[in-house]
Structure formats: C-alpha cells, structure tokens
Chain A
Amino acid sequence: MSLLSAETPNLVQLLDSAGLELLWHPSLSNLAPVHRLRLFERLAAGEEPLDILVIEGSILHGADDSGSFDAYMGRPKRDWVRELAERAGYVVAAGTCAAYGGFGHQAPTRAGGLQWDRTEPGGLLGAAFRSAAGLPVINLAGCPCHHDVITGTLLALTSGLPLPLDEFNRPAHWYGVMVHQGCTRNEYHEYRVEESDFGQKGCLFFHMGCHGPLVGGPCNKLLWNQRSSKTRVGVPCFGCTHPGFPASHPFFATRNIEGIPLELPMGVDRAHYLAYKGMAAAAAPARLKDRITEI
C-alpha cells in the first residue's frame, strides 16, 4: 500500500512508461483464480519469462518448519517463492519483513527473510543465491519500504542502470544516508537539547529512543507522502530499515549508561563523543535551550 503513494513516477506512470508489464499483484490484478494458478505454473516452469520478482512479507517457517502458517493456493508460500526465484531475472524484497524477517522471528511463526534471517545472511534462498541477472536479493528495507525507493529500484532495473548495494544488500543510494540527515531537529541534536516527553521541539535521540543517528534510511531525504517524516513530527525513528528491526528493548526509551546513550551515532567512539557532547551542551544557544528555533 505504501507503493501507491509513489511520486515521479507514480504507480500509473511506472506501469505505463517504464516498459513494465505487471503480471500479477495480489491487491491490484483481476485475474480469475484458475488463470492465476496457470500463470504461476508457467512462470515456475520457465515457459514465460519473469524479469522481476517482488516479494512482500516475511517467509513464515512455522508451524514446526512446515510453512503451514502461510499457505497460498494449498502450498506454503515459501515453496512458491523458492520456485519463482529460481526463474527470476531479479529478486526484490520489498520491506524489512521480506528482506530480513521483521516481526515474528521467534517461535511459533519463525519469520525469516528471503536471503537473510535478521542480521545473518542465509534466509530462505541461502547466502549464495544469485538471480539470473547475477545479483543477490535486493533488499528494500523499511517498515514499510519508502514508496519512492520501490519505484526507483524498479526503474533502475528496467533501465539497466547499476544499483550498488551496501553490506545488507540494500541500494546504497537510499540506505547510505542516515535517517537523521535532513531531520528538522538537527540543531537540537547538535547542541544536545533533549526531550523526555511528547509534543516538544528538542531532539529525541537522548531519551525518547530515536534511532535516527544509528541507522541508514531515506525518510528525511525523500520525505513521506511528499510531505514529512516521523522525526519531524516528534515521533522517534524506530530503526525499521535495519535488519535487526524490531529491537527487543523498549521503542520509546534510549538505553544509556549514566546519561550517555549506549548506542552512539554510527561509527563514533565513546571518548570523543563524551567530550564533543559535553562541549556542545555548554555551547548551546538560548534560542535552542528556550525552544525558540522552529522545527
């Protein structure tokens, strides 16, 4: 559903002008069931080409490794996915659940990803899997995945443009930027002017559990629905683009040691961080301490 909010191209333009033929989508196609089954069988047998396979949702291995918790036309969904992936030019995991498992990785559902189980390579298809075009599964992380990342990826693939991937097989262009970059609260972060309750103007990193400086993602670069982002409206980032999402610790609290966050902005060492933030707080101007600067 996130995809329907895509802009430039929107979904209609994408299907109309990018040379894409949508063979089937569970929510959008009006193919009769019997024709759908035949389509799946032709694709799985290689009788009809499948250039791009996009999978949403995690692979459920439960109950007891039977896959029965998620059946599709009488078979575990994972069996369909495995067969179709063998034939596909590219395989795209849309969303953190399809990419890494996301919610429900513990028993009994045992959700896993297409080529990862949370932060471990493997998943349903195995770490060595390469699609016909020679790429691993392209992981479009996020819960949900940003609409323009899905369309941007499909456009790049159909245009034959290179799409460099990062360490978690996410397109580096969108996941190599921190969620925090572009947040309108950056001034408050920089000078460590912090909040511990909702509805305020300050930074949400120090007490409210915000993952903005910890994970990569395009939320404040592309914005959502052409408008805004969670952090801009005072909702912490929950790190949903990271393979380890959802974290097991509380979403709305920052774990800390004597007031210093346990997890520091990506790549920063603790000693320098302590010195830097101590000085930054001391240097904070009144316009920030008094919450005058707008967000």
Chain B
Amino acid sequence: MSKTRRYEIPLNRVEGDLEVRVDVDEGVVTDAWSSGTMFRGFENLLLGRQALDSLVVTPRICGVCSTTHLLAAAKALDMVSGVQPPPNAVRLRNIALMAETLQSDLRHSVLFFLPDLAASAYRRHPLFDEAVRRFEPAKGETWVEAIIETKKILEIVAIIAGQWPHSSFIVPGGVAYSPHPTELLQCRYILRRVREWYEKRILGCSIDRWREVRSAAHLDAWLEERADHRESALGFFLDFGRRIGLDETGRGHDSFLSFGSLELPEGTDVAGPGESTRLIPAGYFDGATTHAFDQSLISEDVSFSLAADYETGLHPVEGVTAPVTGDSGTRYSWVKAPRYDGRPAETGPLAEALVGGDPLLRDLVARNGASTLVRQLARLTRPATMMPAIEAWIAEIPASSNGDTYVPYGTLEEGSGHGVIQAARGALGHWVTVRDGVITHYQVITPSAWNGSPRDGAGVRGPWEEALVGTVIADPDDPVEAGHVIRSFDPCLVCAVHAIDRRRENT
C-alpha cells in the first residue's frame, strides 16, 4: 500500500483565493498542484468599451497593486497613440509606482510572511517568544509599526494621484496632475520618515551601509559586525530562517524573468545597472546567463487550466479563452500557464535582482540555489534600492527645464499596444487592441499567473508547484513549511485568477 497521502492546503494571508494540493510521502512533498479558486474574467469587462476605460477598470483587478495595473494600462495606450510622456510625467509615474511597491514589500514581509514565525507551529522554537513579540498580528511591535509606516508612504501616492488605491491619474501622454513644489516637499519628508524607520527597524543600518553588502561573505560579516544588524527584522529573519532551513527549501526551476521597469527620464542623474535605460532592467536569467527580453516569446498554455475552446500556447495578443463550466477532467486552476520561450519562469524581486546582476543575490543563488530565504531577502531589501531613487526624482521635478507633466495624446482610434512593467510581485503585462476607438481585445498576465501557474502541456509544473517538491512537512494539519515556500513568491491570486480572455466579435 502506498504511503503517499494527499492534502488540500487552503492558504490564508495571500491576496486572494488560492488552494494548493500536495502529495506527501513520509513527510516530504512529492508533488503539488496550485489552484486559483476564483474566476473573475476582468478583461471581458473591457471588450466593447472606450480605450480610456481600461484606466478605470484594470486598477480594480487588485487592491494592493492598483497603481501598477494603471501604469501598464496607460503605457499600452501610450503605444496605441504614439505619444511620448514628458520627463516629469515619467518621474511622477515612477515615484507613485515605487511608493506603492514599498508599501507592498513591507506589508508582505511584515504582515504576511513574518507572522508565520509567530504561528503555533513554532511554539517550542527558542526564538518563538521573540517572533511573537515582533510579528504577532495586531499586537507585535514591528507589525504595529508597519501598519503606521506603510500607511504613511501611501500618502505620497495620494498627493500625486488623489487617492490610494484605485486612482486613474496616469493617462496616455502623462499624468492628470502636476503637484505643487510644496506638495513635493511633503513627499520628501514622508519618504525621509519612512526611510528612517526602515533603516532602524528593518535593516538595522543605513541604506548606504547595506548596499556595501555584495557577497555571501559580506552578509556574514555584516551580521557579525553589530548587534543592531542581528537584531533588526532582517537579521532576525536570517537567523530564524536559517535555523528552520528556509535556505534549503523552495528552489524552483532556476528560471527568472523581469519585464524591466522604471524607465530613466531624460536628464536624470539616477542610473540603472550597467547601460540599462531603466532602474530595473528587463531580461531572462537561466541561473547562469542573462538573455535579452523579447515580449513576443511569451505564450499561454491552458492544458491544465479551466479554460475551454482554446488553442494552447498562444501569445496574449492572440489568446481566445472561455472558462470551463462543465466536466473539468484534469483541469484544476482558473489560472493559465504563461511560459517564456516555452519555459515556466518565476518573477518578483529576486528575479529582477538576478537579471540586473545584483552581486549579493547572484552570489547567494550561485552557491546554494534560489530558496525561500533568498526570495524573501530580496523582497525585504528591495526598498534599499528604491528609496534613494524616489528621493532623487522628487528633487529633480521642480528643477527640470521642462515643466510639462502631460502632453495631449492625439487619438486612440486604431492600433495595438502593450504595457510590460515590473509590479511589486514581478512581471506584469497588459496587451490591448483598439478598433474605431473601442477595445476589441484585452489581455492581462499578472506576476502570480507566472509564479502560480499550473502545469503546461508537457507536464512541467509551475514555479511554486516545483518549489514545493521536496519540502518537509511536520504536521499536515498545519503545513506551515509549505506556506513559507509559497509566500516567498508573494502570491496575489486576486490577480492571478482573473487571467482569462475572450475575444468577442465586435458587433
């Protein structure tokens, strides 16, 4: 008789509806299936609507990264009209996107990932009491501070965009509002305050000091150097994480994708890695080599998705899909299976850092492979890359010789466009086709569709399905180990399960 037992694991503290099924043999996960359990069909709501309406509909796909969807939608319309937003509009778009990303990284880490260390599964762990003191929901010291500080950082978005979430301030040609210099000064002081908290509580050192940590050896030396480093949220996470083996779980396919994001405006002093024209470069990293990114290599497989009447393996510009509503057979997820050049790919802060050549994360992955620990480390330290760029762009706006923040976009009558950027959770793409001013085709592929994809026609698992295999689970009734692995991808299934598209004849 087989010893393999199958468990359903509904996860909470993900942004949405996700259920994971795992096969466990003698305490080790031998196979995994990830199901998005809600179908929303957001793109269908856009068909037949005016082109600009995507700026209102798509932010509402997600309550955490609505600015990200707005930017992707607006960039797709920039392309349809051929308009070039002026440099200060690029700065304002970038600042709002990065403020939202800081919010997401810090909330995910402190409110979603780290509270698992304070869960009952670790009640006998020597660091448990300290984890509870810091991260217990609604009570832990760092948890409470993160609520206050992430709320504060969003005031930057509200100053530029009017509100967070769900503004529609990014429009083809730029942004709807030009903040007064005194409002920009307020943005600067909001950021300064949150940066001070981040340096003190999360890093335990200045951002400048952290950016000198460029290898695994530097990281160990940094931990040795001061008690402040060891006692910060980052130091505590590294200690606890290594003790419970998070550096040994969650490897995945060694296949990393970044669409690139945060283009450098004309005349800026901010520089990206190497010769990149963006702060976050685009590319595909296979564990050894970085390849140039080509969006035409994206396809979506639906062999195991609850999607009918669909020729599998199509680029999103061609996708034709309807949800399965009858017998679903072996199909198990509302999420489609995006593939890059035929391969599954993980995306997110780790992937974009590896593509960009980040020396610390490259070194850690070269030595020990991608892991739950490294993935979360990349997310927890990404604000150290973004905060200085936000500061610089806030300061550059009033000094820019071109004060425009919007140029008329002409028309949106005919054409196709795409907006491919890096959201907080990774690669996000919007593809739109407009005929007679009306949307005839719309497709969104979210980061969680990449990370949480089901199998493809060749039977190859999606990234976090693959990452789960080999995970040791002590108590199937409380599979906290599987939770760590999946949460290191920052799943957002509100996003992922909407990825359904139906081309409708324009009647």
Contacts and interface: CB of A to CB of B under 8 A. Distances in A.
Partners in one complex: yes
B155 interface: yes
A268 interface: no
Interface in B172-191: 173-178
A251 interface: yes
Interface in B73-127: 107, 111-112, 115-116, 118-121
B226 to A, nearest CB: 30
A103 B159 contact: no
Contacts of A106: 45
Given A199-B174, A231-B162, A252-B52, A103 B15 contact: no
B10 A228 contact: no
A6 B118 CA distance: 25
Nearest to A28: B137
Nearest to A6: B151
A255 to B, nearest CB: 12
Interface stretch (B57-65, B251-259, B372-380): B57-65
B412 to A, nearest CB: 10
A30 B173 contact: no
Contacts of A5: 151, 154, 164
A31 B325 CA distance: 32
B50 A30 contact: no
A162 interface: no
Nearest to B168: A235
B368 to A, nearest CB: 28
A226 B158 CA distance: 8
A33 B10 contact: yes
Given A11-B147, A197-B408, A228-B163, A109 B40 contact: yes
Given A11-B147, A104-B41, A224 B138 contact: no
Interface in A113-150: 143-144
A30 B49 CA distance: 41
B142 interface: no
A143 B405 CA distance: 27
B161 A233 contact: yes
B165 interface: yes
B478 to A, nearest CB: 4
Contacts of B477: 32-34
A10 B19 CA distance: 31
Contacts of A30: 12-13, 115-116, 118-119, 137
Nearest to A69: B39
Nearest to A5: B151
Given A225-B157, A228-B162, A238-B56, A108 B13 contact: no
B232 interface: no
A109 B41 contact: yes
B137 A29 contact: yes
B171 interface: yes
B176 A233 contact: yes
Main secondary structure of the interface of A (DSSP, over half): loop
Given A30-B116, A199-B176, A199-B406, A225 B171 contact: no
A74 B8 contact: yes
B290 interface: no
A199 B405 contact: yes
Nearest to A15: B138
B162 A250 contact: no
Contacts of B147: 4, 10-12
A106 B116 CA distance: 39
A227 B157 CA distance: 10
A275 B211 CA distance: 66
Contact of B45 (A60, A104, A225): A104
B148 interface: yes
Given A71-B38, A230-B168, A64 B325 contact: yes
B190 to A, nearest CB: 10
A197 B173 CA distance: 11
B329 to A, nearest CB: 15
A256 interface: no
Give the residue among A143, A230, A238 with the most B Cβ atoms within 10 A. Answer: A230
Given A30-B118, A69-B39, A72-B37, A225 B478 contact: no
B177 A233 contact: yes
Given A34-B477, A228-B163, A10 B41 contact: no
B480 interface: yes
Contact of B39 (A2, A6, A64, A109): A109
Nearest to B143: A12
A109 B11 CA distance: 23
Pick from B11, B13, B334, B408 the residue with the most CB of A within 10 Å: B13
B151 A2 contact: no
B295 interface: no
B176 A2 contact: no
Nearest to A24: B12
Nearest to B112: A27
A234 B166 contact: no
A69 B155 CA distance: 35
Given A12-B138, A108-B41, A199-B174, A26 B60 contact: no
B323 interface: yes
A240 B57 CA distance: 11
Contacts of B175: 199
A92 interface: no
A69 B175 CA distance: 36
A241 B49 CA distance: 21
Contacts of A63: 39, 323, 325
A257 interface: no
B165 A1 contact: yes
B63 A144 contact: yes
A240 B148 CA distance: 27
A190 to B, nearest CB: 21
Interface of B: 8-15, 17, 19, 37-42, 45, 49-50, 52-53, 55-57, 60, 63-64, 107, 111-112, 115-116, 118-121, 137-138, 144, 147-148, 150-151, 154-155, 157-169, 171, 173-178, 322-323, 325, 334, 405-406, 408, 477-480
14 contacts: A1-B165, A11-B138, A26-B12, A34-B477, A71-B37, A108-B325, A198-B176, A225-B155, A227-B155, A227-B158, A227-B159, A228-B162, A233-B169, A238-B168
Given A198-B171, A250-B52, 17 more contacts: A4-B107, A27-B12, A32-B478, A33-B11, A60-B38, A69-B39, A70-B39, A72-B37, A104-B45, A224-B162, A226-B155, A230-B169, A233-B177, A235-B162, A235-B167, A238-B168, A250-B50
Complex A-B, nearest 6 residue pairs according to Cβ-Cβ distance, in ascending order: A224-B163, A63-B325, A233-B177, A225-B158, A199-B406, A227-B158
